[in-house]
Every structure is written in C-alpha cells, then in structure tokens.
Amino acid sequence: MNLLLDTHALLWMLSDPGQLSESAKKALTAAENNLHFSIASYWEIAIKVSLGKLTLSAEWQRTVPAEVTRNGIQWLPIAPRHIDTLASLPWIHRDPFDRLLISQAKTDHLGIVTRDPEFSAYGVETVW
C-alpha cells in the first residue's frame, strides 16, 4: 500500500511512537507499504517552529530530512496536478496543509496515516 504520512504521524514516529495507534505503527513498519512525506508537511513544520507552536531540536532542519531518508520514506513534491484537485475539494476541512495532503492523496491514490477524522470525509483511505 502507498501511504502518505500526516505531519503528526511522522513527528510521532520519529520522537514519540507511543502517541501512534497500533494500526498506525503496523502500517509504518510493514515492509510492503511505501511511505511518503509531503513537502507541504515539511513546510508546515517550518511555519509552526517559526511561530513557536512547535518545539523541535535546533538541528531539526538536518535531522527531519535525514530521518525521512533513513526510514526509506519518499518525499512527495507539490505538483500542479495536486493544486488542480485541491481547487475542487469541498470545504469540510479548513486547514490549508491538511487540504493539500488530502488533495495529494486523492490525486496520487495514497492512503493517509492520520488521526484526523475529517480526512475520511473526502473519500481517502485513512489508517489510524
């Protein structure tokens, strides 16, 4: 299965796995799953750190990409096709980063590892 990690899923996977559900842990460690992390989530992390809403180590800009690579997670860029899908999404979810992740999942046929219950309203498969 191809899975996109929501921002919190990656951060918890790296620093606090106890926050993950058992289903999420299994999905993240199953050899047959291909994991993806959106550049939109990396952007979200940068914004939250700069606003003081998220506290990470001073080396986060080095360690997060290194851990993504070390864990065999593929970076998912933002492409025009994702924005095209985003433009037609209903306004169920208001968070712009989550809306972009939903759009990427719908466009690229990815499930999403997230605890956010609103994602499933868009018809994307969620794992939690």
Please report the pLDDT score of residue 85 as a whole number.
Answer: 98
Q: Mean pLDDT of residues grouped by 10 in the chain (128 residues)?
A: 98 96 98 98 97 96 96 98 98 96 98 97 97
How many separate domains does the chain show? Answer: 1
Determine the Cα–Cα distance for residues 37 and 53; give it in Å rounded to an integer: 21
Please report the pLDDT score of residue 8 as a whole number.
Answer: 97
pTM: 0.95
Please report the pLDDT score of residue 49 as a whole number.
Answer: 97
For residue 24, tell me if it sits in a domain.
yes
Please report the pLDDT score of residue 1 as a whole number.
Answer: 95
For residue 128, tell me if it sits in a domain.
no
Please report the pLDDT score of residue 54 as a whole number.
Answer: 97
- Here the CATH number for the domain that contains residue 47 is 3.40.50.1010
For residue 62, tell me if it sits in a domain.
yes
Which residue range(s) make up the domain with 30? 2-122
